[in-house]
Amino acid sequence: MKSLVKIFSVISAFISAHTSFIFYLSWFFLGLLQAGYTELLHDEAYYWQYASHPAWGYFDHPPMIAWLIYIGSWFFEDEIGVRLLPVILNTTSIYILEKLLIKTEKKIFYVVISSTAILQLAGILAVPDSPLLFFSFVFYSQFKRFLENSSLKNGSYLALAMSALVYSKYHGILLIIISLGANPGLFRKKSLWLSLTLLFVFMLPHLHWQYQNNFPSISYHWLERGDENFSLWLLFNYLFSLPFVYGPFTGFWFIYALFTFKPGDDYEKTIRLNGIISLLLFLLLSLKGRIEANWTFIALLPLIYTGIKRAESQRQIQILLWRLFPFTLLIILLLRVYMVWDFLPVAWNIKTEFHNNKTWALQIKQLAGGRPVAFMNSYQYASKYAFYSGEPSFSLNNVAGRRNQYTIWDSEYSFQGENIILVTNYESPDFNRLETVKGRLNFVAIPNFRSYGNTRIETPVNQLVCKQNSAVQISVKIKTFNSQSRNTAANPIYPAYLSYSVFQKNTLLSENKTSLLLTNNMINNEQKYTAKLTFTLPPGEYTLLLGTKSGWLPSQAGSKKIKLFITTD
């Protein structure tokens, strides 16, 4: 018995002496284990496709996550390779935060960190929020140094932190604006102007990429993403989910502490303002559309920082955190296991992005029999199929979906003339069906595939007014946004016609084909062509998109948005 007591004493003493080392080593290897055994989310597979085409920018996001996946894939070709760098950054983020809270008792710090679901579960994911979290922590750390000593050297380091933040996700711009706005006196310092100048210089490659591609990110995030109608459910969903995302239990304390925290200096004032303004801003945005929980990740450090600072002076809160700790760990452990193993009853019919992807991809691969597989309006499925099957795939986008990185790549060009399998995103009695582990798929075999996703329809018309059931003429030029030409005469079963689609808000109401047949000599010749459009919809205000229609396939958008007014006069 004395020997056991002695052994436990030695172990206890070792743990006490090496708490930090044991914590970080355990955190890293647990994350690595989780990363290796958890199948990819849809978006992770999409960003893996980013990494296969290294660039200074991408349609939806800046390039940082693609660079991280690219580096990780040098070492491993599976899920670990995709997530290796995010796991490393996640572990390092916690260390940076600990240094910012250097006077905090380690045990309380590790309990709070281990009780934060975002860090435990989302920290392994290869999504833009992973580098955003890390570089937001780096920014907060460097901003503290800059407030203490605004030297040219610290200003240069701050520029690096800011540029890495923006290269991770555009939300980082908000953090920079709030931080500088909270300290207007900094604008009198030359070192800040040096920092902002360097930030602009560092961002030039990305800005040049945006210019070369006609600013797709700005166009999508500010113009193409339609607003939803106001819904109390969207507001309630944001308010209800927020504490659980940061908790599940500690989230309530974090939010309360953030709003009641009394800053001790300018740095703490900056942290608090960043947290409050970020949360309130997204609260306002929830009134006009759905807010994803990960959009608020830039508020994580302020929430944890103020939560721990307030808990330090309140013994009862510390006791509560300790008592909730086992329950929090149990919930997080169950979620970790579920991410790897789908143990829920089949009767519940819960489909997740983490499960059965390999089997699903293999089933489609066997069906395809060596033919390329396209997914209609699904950059996510196309990416995931490519990752788990090792076979080529692309997203065939049309007016019912949205543009994405496959649009910029013009991926469909590589498959012109090939026999493909197209997985559709709607039902039709004319389609074939395949039962998979993830549900039924509708598909069509298309010989000699032809599409015109790179076609651009130019018109001087910005607004169109016409009578209901009357024809109106419109003048257009037929162009392409790249040099990858199409042969419109190569498949007579899939001829190309000018089409027009009508939307109200984000809802597609009608899709029509004109009598204007597109021929090879019409493309990029600067000549104007006239087409007749007829609208049978009720009088009202709509949005019109011109495009191309190939055979029975849904139209592919090719023009700017045109305001459409249908009248009865």
Note the pTM of the prediction, 2 decimals. 0.92
Question: How is residue 274 written in tokens?
Answer: 């960043």
pLDDT digits (tens, 9 = 90+) for 156-195: 999 999 999 999 999 999 999 999 999 999 999 999 999 9
> Checking DSSP bridges between strand 373-376 and strand 471-480, what pairing results, if any?
unpaired
Length of the chain: 569
For residue 549, what are the contacts with CB-CB under 8 A and spacing of at least 6?
496, 497, 498, 499, 511, 513, 555, 556
Neighbours of 87 (CB within 10 A): 26
Q: 298 phi and psi, to 5 degrees?
A: -70, -15
C-alpha distance across the termini of the chain, in Å: 99
Q: Please report the sign of the dihedral spanned by the C-alpha atoms of residue 46, residue 51, residue 55, residue 61.
A: positive
From first to last of its 569 residues, the chain has per-residue pLDDT tens of 565 555 556 555 656 666 888 999 999 999 999 999 999 999 999 999 999 999 999 999 999 999 999 999 999 989 999 999 999 999 999 999 999 987 778 888 999 999 998 898 888 999 999 999 999 999 999 999 999 999 999 999 999 999 999 999 999 999 999 999 999 999 999 999 999 999 999 999 999 999 999 899 988 877 776 555 667 777 777 888 888 888 888 889 999 999 999 998 999 999 999 999 999 998 888 777 777 777 888 899 999 999 999 998 888 989 999 999 999 999 999 999 999 998 888 777 777 889 999 999 999 999 999 999 999 999 999 999 999 999 999 999 999 888 999 999 999 999 999 999 999 998 888 899 999 999 899 999 999 999 998 999 999 999 999 988 888 999 999 998 888 888 888 888 889 999 999 998 888 999 999 999 999 999 888 899 999 999 989 999 999 999 999 989 999 998 999 999 989 86
Question: d(Cα 157, Cα 518) in Å, to the nearest integer?
Answer: 55
Quote the Cα angle for 281-283-287, to 5°: 115
Question: d(Cα 564, Cα 543) in Å, to the nearest integer?
Answer: 5
Question: d(Cα 100, Cα 95) in Å, to the nearest integer?
Answer: 9
Question: d(Cα 29, Cα 428) in Å, to the nearest integer?
Answer: 48
DSSP string, 223-275: IISPPPPP-HHHHHHHHHHHHHHH-SSHHHHHHHHHHH---SSHHHHHHHHHH
Q: What is the 3-state secondary structure (H, E, C) of 174-236?
A: HHHHHHHHCCHHHHHCHHHHHHHHHHHHHHHHHHHHHHHCCCHHHHHHHHHCCCCCCCHHHHH
Question: How is residue 398 written in tokens?
Answer: 């049309």
Phi/psi class of residue 505: alpha, beta or left (left: φ > 0; alpha: ψ in -120 to 50)?
left
